[in-house]
Amino acid sequence: MTTQATGRVTVPELAALMKQTAGVTVDPGDLAARADTAFGVFGLDSLGLLGIVGELEKRHARNLPVDAERCETPREFLDCVNTALAAGV
C-alpha cells in the first residue's frame, strides 16, 4: 500500500523510496525485520535520507519536520513521518 491509500508511509514504500531516490536496494521484509538498524547498514547515507524526505514532501505538498532527516533508523523515520502526516504538520 502507498501513503495515498493509507495516509501512512509503509515499510514497502520506504524501501521503494530508498531505491528510487538513493539507488539503495533493500528487501522490504529485511527492512521490516531490522527496523531498528541504522540506515547506514543498509547503505543509505544522510543525503539519501534527505532525498526521501524531499520526495515525501513533494507527494504530500507539505514540509516534514527537520527531525525526519535526522532519523537514524527506519522505525524512527517512519514514526516521525507518520506522526507528522497524521497531525497534518
Q: Determine which helix (DSSP H) or strand (DSSP E) holds 57, and give its type and residue range.
A: helix 46-60
Q: According to the model, what pLDDT value does residue 89 have?
A: 55
- Per-residue cell: 74: 527506519
* In this structure, CATH architecture of domain 3-87: Orthogonal Bundle (1.10)
- CA 51 vs. chain centroid, Å, equals 10
The torsion angles phi and psi of 39, rounded to 5 degrees, stand at -55, -35
Q: C-alpha angle with apex 36: 76 to 55, nearest 5 degrees? A: 45
Determine the pLDDT at residue 6. 54
Task: For 19-77, write each residue's pLDDT tens digit.
Answer: 999 999 999 999 999 999 999 999 999 999 999 999 999 998 889 999 999 999 999 99
CA distance 45 to 86: 26
pLDDT for res 13: 96
For the chain, domain boundaries: 3-87
The pLDDT score that the predictor gives to residue 34 is: 97
Residue 1 has what pLDDT? 38
pLDDT for 88 equals: 77
Q: Span 8-27, mean pLDDT?
A: 96
